[in-house]
Structure 1
Amino acid sequence: MKNDCLYAAADGNTLFPVFLKLEQLQTLIVGGGTVGLEKLTAVLQNAPRAAVTLVGTTICPDIRNLAAEAYAVELFERPFLSCDLYGKDLVIIATENAEQNAAIREAAKARKILVNVADTPALCDFYLGSVVRKGNLKIAISTNGKSPTLAKRLRELFTEAIPCELEEVMQNLGRIRDGLKGDFAHKVKELNRITAGLVKKSSPPGER
């Protein structure tokens, strides 16, 4: 029997959403200008303890200031070298030079390293999506590379719409989960029952 959900996904956004523990990975950013700053900022906002190496022919003051306050950011002001890829798990390329970006991407792919090339979706293995952050809640938004502007607007919408009190709800649910007895299936069923009220819509006046 055909699975309509699978077929629908194949026609739309087929990206697989993953949340990475960057503090356990080695990330390389190539580019010390405005775009490099944007990428480094995005990484550190989501993973302040991420281990990042940034290489740039010139490195702007804002990157230096950000790195000085970061937990594990190392800067090298010089041209990219192939040895910079050694031991890296992710590479974010942001040199503001399309030809150089493509060349670095090929070098990274030869080492089977996942790559993001700024503003070039066709050369990316992954995207840095817009992210909504409310305490321990994190929602990543993807438009499949079609419209970063729309993703930004949706982030603003959700950030405003989601109440800060939700963090307290999550903390309480965590304590309830830890105190539940029984197997995994029972815990899921009980938590589903408890949280049903969060999404339950109000009944129309005539149905009350």
Structure 2
Amino acid sequence: MEENHLFPVFFKLNHLHVLVVGGGNIGHEKVNALLENCPTANIIVVATWFLPELTELAKQAPNLELIQKAFSCGDLLGKDLAIAATNDHELNRQIWESAKCSKVLINVADTPELCDFYLGSIVQKGSLKIAISTNGKSPTVAKRLKQVLQEAIPGSINDVLDKLHVIRDRLKGDFTEKVKQLNHITEVLVKKD
């Protein structure tokens, strides 16, 4: 049985520089997903044209810049992450090759074998954020699981997290002791009736 060997991480996009290449539907979708998760993400979009929706999004996002031109290797300078989001497979491969040479992590839309990372489905309720990955095999299943979790997690979860944060700050002892105490306190969250 094949396993998912992806290591989930949460990037602080307001501390990183992201390049998105593509100003059409795919580029708009990727930029929108990034901004939904981090409204102050530092994003530069390079494309020869832009959807009007992407242009409108740029007016609202303080750190989103649109540059109308063809992609060049120099666009990767100073970037931490790149997303190739065009419908031109040859151009996407060229962007991937340039990113690999520049040691920039890259996601090539709808081409799992050329991705260093995936943009998974995200469930968010307040401070709780859950990322779902199917190892690039079925974004549709990830989307359905997102719907199930979104409905199953109570809206009050943020209040629970806030209270646990206060409790954690007040606990005494070393790290191991604090973990033991928090495990005991949160046991009620997984207890079956």
Name the TM tier (shorter chain): over 0.9
Distance 1:150 1:45 in 2: 21
Q: Which residue identity is paired with 1:55?
A: V
- Report whether the alignment pairs 1:18 with 2:9: yes
- Report whether the alignment pairs 1:192 with 2:183: yes
Aligned to 1:63: 54
Aligned to 1:170: 161
Larger radius of gyration: 1
Q: Which residue identity is paired with 2:62?
A: Y
Distance 1:140 1:67 in 2: 25
Aligned to 2:91: 100
Q: Which residue identity is paired with 1:35?
A: I
Distance 2:62 2:148 in 1: 31
**1:76-96 alpha-carbon deviations (Å, 9 max, x no partner):** 011112111110000000111
Distance 1:27 1:14 in 2: 24
SS at the partner of 2:14?
A: helix
Q: Which residue identity is paired with 2:91?
A: Q
Runs of 5+ in structure 2 lacking a partner?
none
- Report whether the alignment pairs 1:87 with 2:78: yes
Runs of 5+ in structure 1 lacking a partner?
1-7, 203-208
Distance 1:26 1:170 in 2: 30
TM-score (normalizing by structure 1)? 0.91
The share of aligned pairs that are identical, in percent, is: 55
Distance 2:142 2:135 in 1: 10
- Report whether the alignment pairs 1:179 with 2:170: yes
**1:151-196 alpha-carbon deviations (Å, 9 max, x no partner):** 0000011001100101100000000001111111111011100000
Aligned to 2:125: 134
**1:13-37 alpha-carbon deviations (Å, 9 max, x no partner):** 0101111111111000000000000
Distance 2:51 2:157 in 1: 38
Runs of 4 or more, structure 1, over 2 Å off, are none
Alpha-carbon distance, 1:71 to partner: 2.2
**1:54-90 alpha-carbon deviations (Å, 9 max, x no partner):** 0011011100111110120011011112111110000
Q: Which residue identity is paired with 1:39?
A: K
Q: Which residue identity is paired with 1:121?
A: P
